[in-house]
Structure formats: structure tokens, C-alpha cells
Structure 1
Amino acid sequence: MFDNLSLPTILVSYVALLFSLSVHEASHATAAYLLEDDTAASLGRMTLNPVAHIDLLGTVIFPLLGMATGFPFIGWAKPVPVDPRKLTRKFTQRVGYALVASAGPASNLIQAGVFLGVMFLVVKAVVPVPELEYRVFVRALLAGKVESLQVLQLGTTATLFLALLGRLVLINVGLALFNLLPMGPLDGAGILRGFLPWRWLPKFDRIQPWMGGILIVLALTGLLGYVIGPVFGLVFYGIEIVARLILHF
């Protein structure tokens, strides 16, 4: 089970996950605060300090176990508390809640874009031969292990930094797509609920308590990959097109 254990890869992946989750939750708290609900802010959740967001099972045990065994891991942090009654009356209560819910996935997509841009800059700076830039980029983005990047002979610092950037891009894309699923308790359910017709809400609310169990079954059986995989493939295809244009390959 642990034959392919790679401590550098686990370290890089876990740092990327911890940072991405912290930004995700802090974004929820900040959005709520901007919409006049200070519940999360008063509890110290409007911060990038990961200690404030760690959930023992979802942020520590499951991710590290998944990284060590190779099983597709699911990471989550403590949900940010939101009091819809405190949200600004500039929007309806459910639209305000939907805006707060959308802040998490939006932060992940923004992070993915920023780290992708940094990755392009680093590749162009550390790769001496332009013809190799695209291959180095793809290897750094998709490398299963940090050790597999050592053949590029870029130096330890550049290798680890590229591996970290690659993980930050992929993990943030994955978190965004996962959280946009319209299944409670994911953000997608709160976003969708904010814009559904009123007559659909009773049925929607009745099925949501079941969604958590269904989500766990999908994750444990590997079927979740078939749900997110096609969309993830399209996103990566877009990244590949941009990479070819920027790296002139």
C-alpha cells in the first residue's frame, strides 16, 4: 500500500491543499462580512491562518491518508458559519447566501489562474532551452511525484517550487469543480438555491439531507471521478491551449 510513498510529494501536496482550503474558507468569511454578516469574522475565520480552518478529519486525516496510499483524497475545512438573517437587505436572503457560497469556488478559480501565471513565468526563467519549456511545464503540472521532476536538472529549489505550483493549480481547479456540485453541504447547493424559482424550493430542500450520503458513496466508489472528470478534462484542455500559446510550442 505504501510502496510508492514519496515524502517530498506528500509535503508539497499537503502545503498546497492547506493553503487552498484556507483561502477558500477565508473568502466565504470575507464575503459574508462585506454583506454585513460578521458571524465568521467575530470567530476569527476571516484569516489565512490554516489553524482557524482545520478540521481534524477533513483537513488532516483523510488527505494525508489519501496522499500516502494513492487513493483519491477529498479535503475539506471547517464550514464557515453564516447567519442569513444578518446579511444585507440589498439582496434577498437566499441570494445573499448564494453570493457568500460562491466566494469559495471563485477564490479557487482565481488562485488556479494566478498560480498558473506564476508557473509560466518560472518555467520561462529556469528552463534554458525554449523548446523544452512546454514539456517542463506539463511535467511539472502533472508529475505524480516530485522525484520525477529531478530528471529536468533544474536544481532543488526550482524543482520543489514548480512542483508546488503544479499542485496549487490542480488542487484549486479540483476544489472549485467539487464544491460547485449542487449537493449539500457543498457550495453549489447554496448557489443553486439562491436562484431557483420559489415553487422548486420545497422539493430541493427535501432532497438535500440525502445529498451528503450520496456524495460520500460517490467518493468512496470512485464514481465521483466520472462526474467531475469530463469537466476537469475540458479545463485542462484550455490550460494546454494557453500554455502552447504562451510558451510558443
Structure 2
Amino acid sequence: MDQLIQTIVIAAIPVLFAITLHEAAHGYVARHFGDMTAHAAGRISLNPIRHIDPVGTILLPLLTLAVGGILFGWAKPVPVNFSALRHPKKDMLWVALAGPASNLLMAIGWAIVAKVSWAFPDSYYAEPMLEMAQIGIKINAVLMVLNLLPLPPLDGGRIAVSMLPYRQAFQLSKVEPYGMMILIVLAVTPVLSWILSPLYRGFVYVLSLIFGI
């Protein structure tokens, strides 16, 4: 029990940062391209309280930490009115890409923290910082590869809608009302793990090669 509590305390910072910055990034980029919806709702913020979803941000990460497996979670989605963007179909690409891009940058940042921790093994903070960095890499890698799946309303689905010709984009966009249901079905079966695991392991492997961790 003490070990679990220690892990939860160490994991809190990287998990909250991963989820909060992912959502805030969507809001920042949407505002840049003309949509003020998130700004008006007070969701362009680095305050994690504004983005916390009781189930996705707290309960689910705690459960995955307790039972093992891939660390997983989500925040309250930042509201984006794509029709308010200056060039809706084109700008949608950058708004959607902002979330996974933030997770990529955070994973790289945590890899640097891990590298520094390895370089100073005798430091009092080396072990907890290394554990925090490893969790940070894991949660950001999972959020990045999951959100890049081409399934609306995931970011990857929105990216695909932005890049596809209008007819194909319209057909894919019709999947959005059922997207979360499809994702839940995939998550409770081995299918989602089959899809995510190779992508996740490949990304972490490349990161470990680059930073020697």
C-alpha cells in the first residue's frame, strides 16, 4: 500500500501535465486561428483544475497504476467551434495536431529528465525523478499514439478529415457521433491494445535510442 501511494504521488505531476497541456494546446491554437470558444469558456489555462475529468483524469489513471498495464486517462475536452476558424477545414489540422504535438514535446522533456537522473545517480532526488520521468514518458506516449488514431472525434480523426478530399472527409466525419462508443468497445477488448502497443513500444524505443535511457 505504501508503495502504491508513493507511486500515485510521483505520477500525479506527469499525468496532470500530460492531460492539461494536451487540452490547453488545442485551445491556444484554436484561438490563434480565430475560434474564441475555449477562451470564452476559460479553458485556455494551465490550471489543471479547469481540465480535470473525475473519471478520466483521476479514477482511470489510479486504476491503471494499481492493476498495471498501459497508463491511460483523459481530461475534459476543450470546446472548439471549427466553423469559427478562419479556414475551417485547413485550420482544423493544426488545432487537432496541437494536442499530440504537446505530448511529443513533453515526452522528450521527460526523456531529458531521465537522462539527467541517470547522470547523477547519487543524488537524493535521482530515483524519484527517474520514476517520475518514466511515468511522464509512458503517459505522453500513450496519449500521443491514441489521439493520432484516425477515428473522429480523436485528434487523428480530425486530422484525417482536414487532409482528405471533401467527399471522403464528409463520410469520415459522419463516424464522429459513434467514435467514443467504438473506442470504448475497442478498449474493453484486446483490439485497442493490439493497435496501440506496437506504436507505443516503437516510439519509446526510438526515444530511448536518441537519449540513451
TM-score normalised to structure 1 length: 0.78
Q: Return the letter of the residue paired with 1:123.
A: W
Q: Name the counterpart of 1:179.
A: 147
CA contact (8 A) 1:5 1:68 kept: no
Q: Name the counterpart of 2:17.
A: 19
- Of 85, 95, 103, the residue aligned with 1:108 is 103
Q: Name the counterpart of 1:142.
A: none
What is the distance in 2 between the residues matched to 1:191 and 1:16?
Answer: 26
Q: Return the letter of the residue paired with 1:111.
A: M
Q: Return the letter of the residue paired with 1:238.
A: V
Q: Name the counterpart of 1:196.
A: 164
Q: CA deviation at 1:195?
A: 0.8
Change (3 A) 1:240 1:85: closer
What is the Cα-based RMSD across aligned positions, in Å?
Answer: 2.1
CA shift digits 1:142-162 (9 cap, x unpaired): xxxxxxxxxxxx53x321111
Q: Name the counterpart of 2:184.
A: 216
SS in 1 for 2:164: coil
Q: CA deviation at 1:180?
A: 0.6
CA shift digits 1:46-71 (9 cap, x unpaired): 11110000112211222222222335
Q: CA deviation at 1:31?
A: 0.4
Q: Return the letter of the residue paired with 2:103.
A: N
Q: Return the letter of the residue paired with 2:205.
A: Y
Gaps of 5+ in 2: none
Runs of 4+ deviating beyond 6 Å? none
CA contact (8 A) 2:16 2:57 kept: yes
Q: Name the counterpart of 1:242.
A: 210
Matched, 1:127 2:125: no
What is the distance in 2 between the residues matched to 1:30 and 1:227?
Answer: 30
Q: Return the letter of the residue paired with 2:139.
A: I
Matched, 1:170 2:138: yes
TM-score normalised to structure 2 length: 0.91
Q: CA deviation at 1:200?
A: 1.0
What is the distance in 1 between the residues matched to 2:209 and 2:185?
Answer: 35
Gaps of 5+ in 1: 129-153
Q: Return the letter of the residue paired with 2:111.
A: L
CA contact (8 A) 1:182 1:192 kept: yes
What is the distance in 1 between the residues matched to 2:177 and 2:3?
Answer: 37
Q: CA deviation at 1:5?
A: 6.3
Matched, 1:207 2:205: no
Q: Name the counterpart of 2:79.
A: 81
